[in-house]
Chain A
Amino acid sequence: MASTTIPLSEAKTGMRLVLTGINVQGVLRRRLLDLGFVPGNVIEVLQKSPLGDPVAFRVNNTTIALRREESSQIFGNILGGE
């Protein structure tokens, strides 16, 4: 299917995405996987802080805030009629 793959840092509030890849290595990668940033998992963009960084995401029923540094290295396909 021709869905657009974008980094989470480019996703807008309210968007839901299926994760496709995590371009982070080492301990931080492990951390992200443990929190549910796993390819195939669906995440939702909850809200941006006033300065746009960090951004809150809903993953596995939990709210996780990520900085652009990390969210720009996590990729997903936009779900639904965006």
Chain B
Amino acid sequence: MRMYTIALAGNPNTGKSTLFNTLTGLRQHTGNWAGKTVLTAAGEFVHHDVTYRVIDLPGTYSLYSNSADEEVARDYIIFEQPDVTVVVVDATSLERNLNLALQVLEMTNRVVLCVNLMDEAKRLGVHVDVTRIRQKLGVPTVAISARNRTGIDELLEQVEKVASGKIIPQPVTISYSAEIEQKIKELEPHILRLLGTRFPPRWIALRLLDGDEKLLASLKAHLDTVAAPGLKEVVPHEQISCH
């Protein structure tokens, strides 16, 4: 059976674990404070004869090395490269939530934006224009209520399309000042030469310009671990799987 990996990212308390439980039938802890996810939980479900592995990432406001949680979430998205990252945002606080959503869109285009807590938004009289968000951000956008299990079918449909490559989202490119854009342009060829297209060169350039040393350390550690066992394993692994 085909298997895809989807990661749930988002601010704290946006209902990622609730969605995780709804999807996998597992019982990851949820709730305001005591239910905060600190480690990534993994579960699985099957949809249209495809297995999906779901990773529940810790909730963060950002991915820029301010805390261990943020590093876990960032490293997962950039190094493990899930087939789809579902960014779960709180319909009642979109302004705050979209910061992280934009950060994820700079890292990968394989994103589905999931506007959760729609029941709460409705109760507060907040109207969310999902179509407009989709147009502005350039990624599939779905409104759900994870707790009431509404919108889940539509979410799965979009996840399936992005995972299978039927939809290739074209997220909006965030443009910076002329000075920064110039520096990105200078850095990108070097990054491509060193790292190839494994990581998004524009994002790496931005991290370098930001002086994000923790990212560099993570990157180096990651390259060391993938390079070392890989060298020994490549040949026998291929042979075993062929015969």
Q: Which residues of A contact B (CB under 8 A)?
A: 27, 30-31, 34-36, 60-62
Q: Decide if B14 is an interface residue (CB 8 Å cutoff).
A: no
Closest to A62 in B: B96
B interface residues (Cβ-Cβ under 8 A, vs A): 61-62, 64-66, 92-93, 95-96, 99, 210
Contact between A60 and B66, CB atoms less than 8 A apart: no
Cβ–Cβ < 8 Å partners of B92 in chain A: 61
The distance in angstroms between the C-alpha atoms of A20 and B66, with both chains bound, is 23
* Contacting pair B96 A30 (CB below 8 A): no
Cβ 8 A contact of B95, one of A27, A31, A60: A60
CB nearest to B99 among chain A residues: A34
B62/A34 in contact, CB under 8 A = yes
Q: List 24 A-B contacts (CB under 8 A).
A: A27-B65, A27-B66, A30-B62, A30-B64, A30-B65, A30-B210, A31-B62, A31-B66, A34-B61, A34-B62, A34-B64, A34-B66, A34-B99, A35-B61, A36-B95, A36-B96, A36-B99, A60-B93, A60-B95, A61-B92, A61-B93, A61-B95, A61-B96, A62-B96
Q: Which 10 A/B pairs are nearest by Cβ-Cβ distance?
A: A34-B62, A60-B96, A34-B61, A61-B93, A60-B95, A30-B64, A31-B66, A27-B66, A34-B99, A36-B96
Most buried by B among A27, A34, A36: A34
Complex CA gap A27/B65 in Å reads 8
- Of B62, B92, B210, chain A has the most CB atoms within 10 Å of the CB of B62
Question: Which applies to chain A's interface (DSSP): helix, strand, loop or mixed?
Answer: helix
In the complex, what distance in Å separates the CA atom of A67 from the CA atom of B61? 20
Chain B: which residue is nearest A26 at the CB level? B211
Minimum Cβ distance to chain A for residue B193 (Å): 28
Residues of chain A with a CB closer than 8 A to B96's CB: 36, 60-62
Q: When the two chains form their complex, are residues B66 and A30 in contact, meaning their CB atoms are under 8 A apart?
A: yes
Closest to A28 in B: B66
Residues of B within 8 A of A27 (CB): 65-66
Instruction: Say how far A40's CB is from chain B's closest CB, in angstroms.
Output: 12
Q: How far is the CA of A60 from the CA of B61 in the complex (A)?
A: 12
Tell me the bound Cα distance from A61 to B92 in angstroms: 9
**A30 CA / B92 CA spacing, docked (Å):** 24
CB distance from A37 to the nearest CB of B (A): 11
Residues of A within 8 A of B95 (CB): 36, 60-61
Contacts of B93 in A (CB 8 A): 60-62
Give the chain B neighbours of A35 by CB distance below 8 A: 61
Q: Which residue of A lies closest to B60 (CB)?
A: A34
List A contacts of B210 (CB < 8 A).
30
Complex CA–CA separation, A27 to B64 (angstroms): 8
B126–chain A nearest beta-carbon distance, Å:
11
A45 to B92, CA, bound (A): 21
Bound CA–CA A31/B210 (angstroms) = 13
A63 nearest CB across to chain B (Å):
12
